[in-house]
Amino acid sequence: MLGLYISIAAVLILAILFLVFRIQTFIDIVRGANSRRVGTSNKVNAFLLLAFFVVSTALFIWYSVPASKFFLPKAVSEHGVRTDQMFWITMSILIIAFIGTNIFLFSFVFKYQFKEDRKAYFYPDNHKLEIIWTVIPAIVMAILVYFGWKEWSSITRPAPENAEVVEIMGKQFAWQVRYPGKDKKFGGYNFKLIDATNEMGMNLSDPHTKDDFLPSEIHIPKGQPVLFKIRARDVIHSVFAPHFRLKMDAVPGLPTKFWFTPTKTTQEMRDELGNPKFNYEIACTEVCGRGHFAMRYIIVVEEPEDYETWFAAQKPWSESNLEYILTKVDEKSKGLYPAPPAPAPAPKADTASVAVAPADTVAK
Amino acid sequence: MSVAESHLHDHHDDHEHDHHDLPWIKKYVFSEDHKVIAKQYLISGIIWAIIGGGLSLLFRLQLAYPDANFDWLKPLLGGWIQNGKLDPEFYLALVTMHGTIMVFFVLTAGLSGTFSNFLIPLQIGARDMASGFLNMLSYWFFFVSGVIMLCSLFIETGPAGGGWTVYPPLSALPQAISGSGLGMTLWLISMALFIVSTLLGGLNYITTVINLRTNGMSFLRMPLTIWAFFITAIIGLLSFPVLFSAALLLIFDRTFGTSFFLSDIYIAGQALSFEGGSPVLFQHLFWFLGHPEVYIVLLPALGITSEIVATNSRKPIFGYKAMIGSMLAIAFLSFIVWAHHMFISGMNPFLGSIFMFLTLIIAVPSAVKAFNYITTLWRGNIIFTPAMLFSIGLVSFFISGGLTGIVLGNSAADIQLHDTYFVVAHFHIVMGSASFFGMLAGVYHWFPKMFGRMMDEKLGYVHFWITFIGVYMVFFPMHYIGIAGFPRRYYSFTGFDFTQSFTDLTQIITIAAIVTFAAQFIFLFNFFFSIFKGRRATENPWRSNTLEWTTPVEPGHGNWPGAIPTVYRWAYDYSKPGAEDDFIPQNVPFSETKGSNFPHENEQMVAEAESIHGK
């Protein structure tokens, strides 16, 4: 149906254009415009160019003002507030330059349209002018570079010692998240250890693995530095958390990181936006295949006390996958884990369901 | 020089003799005449533009109307439509093919191939390219490369689908996406042939410009078009081999199990044996071509625009030497800014600082170019031919799209904007649309010399206005969507809370894209109709200064029937005070324009007299 409408519209537009063109040709012939060096169209085009500029600038302002509420979602990280400020300062300079140069461009083409009795001004160069407009952009750029560089250095400097560390692994087409557990140390990992249960390839013989837990949402404390350790196990993905102004590629074989300090809890944002369903989200921004557009994950920002409570309540992954672990580790490492469990817990805890859910969405 | 010329002249006589004996296939198919090769590039470029543009409409439709039923596309797409929806992998394949086709086949081969071939010999005063044979090979390598790419659209597993940047591991592993099977193999073969074609062409352009300039055509008298093509060819010659090496290493990883770009991969239930490779290495190699490529695409368009703006403003281009200087600066800097595509790729952040600095420097010569265009218009006597309108459109795009590059080049601001629609808006305006407008401007401007007939002006105006407004309607709204954080290459925006705004804009963009695409058929009609039925052109319809307009209406083999004209002045003596007319072609000696000569030009008359006597 849509196609039909489009083709009808296209045919109509073409027909109208053709008629306009035919009529114009007849008018020109009647007026004898063909013999002149420049016809009426020159005036028409000059006027249209100016009109285009005026109308589109008006449209630009008319649309941008109300649309600005959808711009950059509210920044809720410390560096995000600063980069937003930098973004808007840069944008203001650019918009001034944009409108300024376009005023010159479109007013000149209107003002200096062809007139039979005028001769163009032979003006091949002016070194002073050229130096001025080389130096001014150079100075503006230098200032922008300086602030950009300062900000970039501060964002990319090593994370503070006390940062909460979360590991995020991208795979087709979901994120897997791991916390270091009570010992605050991650067990090692190796891609060769990955299978359907041990999706992150954790080294089960590493004593630090024992208390690592794999939740279904990321929880982080407000006001404290958080370090994301990022990796991927199949193709490149990219962790994008728009509200935190956070983006970093997840590269197989090359672990990356990004640290930030969240400044608003999820609840605070819900109250502020009046949207009780609001959630901080992670999306993938490096094309990774069929389900690229559906790699959603949720970040919950909590008050530090709530975070501690949540953290303490998390069950280590090893606890719910004990049977699996005992089939995988050697005799020596078996000692790390409790003896064969009395009540066999269901293998594959929440992680598996997390992994499956987005894949389902894709299939739909 | 004179030796070279007499030598060439002899050749020319031979050719003249051969001319009538040439079989059809040597004359029109495997031709070694630069003008025929240019037309072959142009027609191929037009066909590719229709394909590449058409593909973009398909994915735009799916994106804007996720709930619509696209079963009506089944006759065209067959199994790629599942339950009335475009298959998500095919969606990515469309995006990939759209990018590849537009960047390489349309804006590199179609633009540079057409106009470098057509204009270099004509504007520097040469009978043909330095090597007609290599030139022919260059086109046919491009042709074969295109055929292979076209075939990949029809295979069962689909064409390459990892984005036009083909980052491994996605592009290396058929398990990751079906397009990385045979489709990617064909992509790599096609690109390898394309690179061969570009190198053969580039070598020819460079050699021709250096060696075959006519008497008096010093480097500082060359039109800016020739400077642009010359610099473009040098950039291509230095950067395309790097893509070739990247493609070759990727072929090794895909076929022979090497680990240049792959490491630590577990996919489809299996840990692969690759270890020690780096996906980021590929990105460095790719963008080492990929960024200069932006200027390979843009510089010819800027060169064409310089020529058209000067001619139709009836004014010398402002700051001729500054224009050359800024092109040289852009060319040099284009090689050392590539990693600004990779700020968040996981490379060392220190590199990010360096590349941010270098990237923002490149804004300075670009700004100089924009200011020079505007000043050229100032106090001109402007004639709005369709070519002129498209050139003005180019300047507008160059400004609009160039400015947003300043935000993206700032690594701290880029964190949020990277791989969002803001980037899509930026490069489609500054690189895609600006270059495309340069190409259209060139076609309208040099059509009379190519085919001996004029294109219809009125249809040109209609084409310009729909396209100009349409392009802004398509790409300007993408800034808004990008600032709101919408990631690019997304099949659908329904899955996230933060992408729920702006559904109306997504639809407006799609509708505008359809209208803009439809408007190109006005051009196509005009183009093909005018080849056969257009008003007959005169030798110099735009009253232009450069040498191509001194040839007959339809220049034959060898371009000038008699001796090649000698050049006495630069290409921009428009509206010179004291001159009889508002233009003085490059082949008019100063001795014939005593009324308008500047003092230093009167001095040159002495040298001029000697050279004429010397002959």
Compute the distance between CA of residue B338 and CA of residue B354 in angstroms, rounded to an integer: 11
ipTM for the predicted complex:
0.89
B10-14, B446-450, B557-561, B578-582: which has the minimum mean pLDDT?
A: B10-14
A124 to B485: CB separation less than 8 angstroms, yes or no: no
B265 to A234: CB separation less than 8 angstroms, yes or no: yes
Q: What are phi and psi of A252, to 5 degrees?
A: -65, 125
Determine the 3-state secondary structure of A169 from DSSP. Answer: strand
Q: Determine the pLDDT at residue B612.
A: 62
Residue carrying structure tokens 């639809």: B507
Residue range B78-120, pLDDT digits in tens: 889 988 999 999 999 999 999 999 999 999 999 999 999 999 9
Quick check: A121 and B379 in contact, CB under 8 A?
yes
State the nearest Cα–Cα gap between B168 and chain A, in angstroms: 7
Strand partners, A297: A282
Compute the distance between CA of residue B132 and CA of residue B120 in angstroms, rounded to an integer: 13
- Write out chain B residues lying below 8 Å of A233, CB-based: 264-267
Count of pairs with CB atoms under 8 A, one residue in A, one in B: 356
Structure tokens at B329: 């600066």
> Is any Cβ of chain B less than 8 angstroms from the Cβ of A10?
yes
- Judged against a pLDDT cut of 60, whether residue B369 lies above it is answered with yes
Q: Determine the pLDDT at residue A9.
A: 74
Segments in chain A below pLDDT 50: 348-364
- Judged against a pLDDT cut of 60, whether residue B7 lies above it is answered with no
- Write out chain B residues lying below 8 Å of A283, CB-based: 487, 496, 498-499
Q: Determine the pLDDT at residue A333.
A: 85
Q: Determine the pLDDT at residue A112.
A: 94
Q: Determine the pLDDT at residue B445.
A: 97
Of A83, A133, A242, the CB nearest to B498: A242
Quick check: A249 and A288 in contact, CB under 8 A?
no
Compute the distance between CA of residue A109 and CA of residue A116 in angstroms, rounded to an integer: 16
State the nearest Cα–Cα gap between A341 and chain B, in angstroms: 28
Structure tokens at B154: 């029809």
If you measure CA to CA, which chain A residue comes closest to B354?
A149
Compute the distance between CA of residue B57 and CA of residue B535 in angstroms, rounded to an integer: 34
Question: How big is the CA angle at A36 (ends A32 and A40), to the nearest 5 degrees?
Answer: 75
Structure tokens at B106: 């349309």
Q: Determine the pLDDT at residue A231.
A: 95
Of B266, B345, B353, the CB nearest to A149: B353
Across B216-240, average pLDDT: 95
Compute the distance between CA of residue A90 and CA of residue A141 in angstroms, rounded to an integer: 10
Question: How big is the CA angle at A30 (ends A24 and A32), to the nearest 5 degrees?
Answer: 100
Domain B2-264+279-533 is found in CATH 1.20.210.10? yes
- Judged against a pLDDT cut of 90, whether residue B373 lies above it is answered with yes
State the nearest Cα–Cα gap between A70 and chain B, in angstroms: 6
Compute the distance between CA of residue A112 and CA of residue A106 in angstroms, rounded to an integer: 10
Structure tokens at B458: 């009125």
- Judged against a pLDDT cut of 90, whether residue B291 lies above it is answered with yes
Residue type at position B452: G
Of B262, B345, B416, the CB nearest to A245: B416
Across B542-553, average pLDDT: 94
- Write out chain B residues lying below 8 Å of A234, CB-based: 169, 173, 176, 265-267
- Judged against a pLDDT cut of 90, whether residue B503 lies above it is answered with no
Compute the distance between CA of residue A176 and CA of residue B168 in angstroms, rounded to an integer: 21
Q: Determine the pLDDT at residue B3.
A: 39
> Is any Cβ of chain B less than 8 angstroms from the Cβ of A298?
no
Quick check: A325 and A204 in contact, CB under 8 A?
yes
Q: Burial of B599 by CB count in 10 Å (0-12 exposed, 13-18 middle, 19+ buried)? A: exposed
Domain boundaries, chain B: 2-264+279-533, 551-614
Q: How confident is the model at residue B13 (pLDDT cuts 50, 70, 90)?
A: very low
Q: How confident is the model at residue B249 (pLDDT cuts 50, 70, 90)?
A: very high
Strand partners, A169: A176, A231
- Write out chain B residues lying below 8 Å of A122, CB-based: 315-316, 574-577
Question: How big is the CA angle at A177 (ends A173 and A181), to the nearest 5 degrees?
Answer: 165
If you measure CA to CA, which chain B residue comes closest to A200?
B266
State the nearest Cα–Cα gap between A203 and chain B, in angstroms: 15
Residue range B441-452, pLDDT digits in tens: 999 999 999 999
Interface test with A, best of B411, B417, B593, B600 (most A CBs within 10 A): B411
Q: Determine the pLDDT at residue A20.
A: 73
If you measure CA to CA, which chain B residue comes closest to A22?
B458
Q: Determine the pLDDT at residue A3.
A: 62
- Write out chain A residues lying below 8 Å of B353, CB-based: 149, 152-153
State the nearest Cα–Cα gap between B221 and chain A, in angstroms: 14
Across B36-51, average pLDDT: 96
Quick check: A258 and A238 in contact, CB under 8 A?
no
A105 to B392: CB separation less than 8 angstroms, yes or no: yes
User: What mean pLDDT value characterizes chain B?
Assistant: 92
If you measure CA to CA, which chain B residue comes closest to A96?
B403
- Write out chain A residues lying below 8 Å of B265, CB-based: 191, 233-235, 252-253
Of B314, B407, B493, the CB nearest to A94: B407
Residue A116 CB neighbours (<10 A): 8
- Write out chain B residues lying below 8 Å of A291, CB-based: 88
